[in-house]
A and B are shown apart, each in its own frame.
Chain A
């Protein structure tokens, strides 16, 4: 039997699992016996780590915290909309509320005056938007009386809504300040 294989078997096995042929080699060769003793000793020293135990109450605390995390996850599943999380944050709701209000005012102004970026005189001058197209759009708008008419006018205004209302869902701030388990740990610290 190869020397390297014997060594590998001795080190990777427990004493009771050793195959008979390796056992025979250990009996014959004191070098293998020494290796086997050393391996066993180190294994038993490492095994002493099992006497390290958590502080008392750790189990009960864990059960409570896991329950809180589960409740939090269930709540999060129910509230699919990310806006609802932000509404819980005063600073965020104020900022985004203000932005939304400004955007709404701008949209209403643009709507009332009928001046959208697509039919502004400057764009007409540069030839980006043709006069005939603008007339056609206005006719459609007047006939249908649609508060948010489809077409280039509305699409051009879309950036206002995107910038003001959307926000990154599930940011670390979002998670940290809405997770009751994390908040409690932070508080205890």
Chain B
């Protein structure tokens, strides 16, 4: 039980942040997109007291034409897939439309899914490929159309630390920060952006991303190196 109690230091930091920002503390926040990515294998069999049907079983049912089983998979991976596409496009309307397209395509291709990888890896691969193709076809640069930032950001340890240290982020409002981050990401090529989104935003491990993209881990690290170096220049004001 003692593990659940916040330390006095942590509580002080929280209070300071809440006071400085006049944050309305709200319970029951929505889960931020792409946070705490769970692999299929990590999924426990009980969630909210109800038994969770494994992906494999749902996939088999969907392959037999059971649309509600597929809808369960859609519900399960909506957040992560939306997060991926949204962060790639920086446009919420495009993200919603693309996600529907990706999922419909996934349903259509289900008979070809042999189960050599997890459903999660497979559907992610479809989403990445289709999003990259979409971005290549999108001739003119689309204006940013951004989602709301969850209040939880103000309680994120990284944000707390960033905003309390001598850093320009302290004076930047969250909306501005969000816009600058999206603009910086859009300056990357699609392949480099995909790596940053999957690893740095969604927290997916290198080996899993390598499988999704069909590249070696060396190639992946090389892309990550280039992308981070580029972002350091683009976001120099936050990390002088």
List residues of chain A with CB under 8 Å of any chain B CB: 8, 11-13, 38-39, 41-56, 58-59, 61-63, 65-67, 69-70, 73, 181, 185
Known: A49-B178, A54-B147. 6 other contacts (CB 8 A): A12-B221, A51-B149, A52-B33, A55-B148, A59-B75, A70-B67
Whole-angstrom distance from the CB of A64 to the nearest CB of chain B? 9
Known: A50-B32, A51-B153, A52-B86. A42 touches B74 (CB 8 A): no
A120 and B119 CA atoms in complex are apart in Å by 68
Closest to B232 in A: A42
* Interface residues on chain B, number (Cβ under 8 Å): 63
A61 and B99 CA atoms in complex are apart in Å by 11
Judge whether B200 and A62 touch: CB under 8 Å: no
Whole-angstrom distance from the CB of B71 to the nearest CB of chain A? 5
Closest to B240 in A: A38
Q: Quick one: which of A11, A41, A53 contacts B30, CB cutoff 8 A?
A: A53
Known: A65-B100, A185-B97. A42 touches B87 (CB 8 A): no
Residues in A with CB closer than 8 Å to B158 are 44-45, 47-48
Q: Quick one: which of A8, A43, A48, A63 contacts B74, CB cutoff 8 A?
A: A63
Residues in A with CB closer than 8 Å to B104 are 66, 69-70, 73
Judge whether B228 and A12 touch: CB under 8 Å: yes
Judge whether B200 and A70 touch: CB under 8 Å: no
Closest to B222 in A: A12
Residues in A with CB closer than 8 Å to B97 are 185
Closest to B99 in A: A62
Judge whether B74 and A52 touch: CB under 8 Å: no
Residues in A with CB closer than 8 Å to B148 are 52-53, 55
| 16 intermolecular pairs with C-beta atoms under 8 Å apart | A11-B225, A12-B228, A38-B239, A42-B232, A43-B228, A46-B235, A48-B177, A51-B156, A53-B148, A54-B95, A55-B148, A58-B96, A59-B78, A61-B96, A73-B104, A73-B108
Residues in A with CB closer than 8 Å to B87 are 49, 52
Residues in A with CB closer than 8 Å to B149 are 51-53
Judge whether A52 and B178 touch: CB under 8 Å: yes
Q: Quick one: which of B33, B169, B196 contacts A46, CB cutoff 8 A?
A: B196
Residue in B33, B75, B101 with the greatest tally of chain A CB atoms within 10 Å: B33
Closest to B104 in A: A69
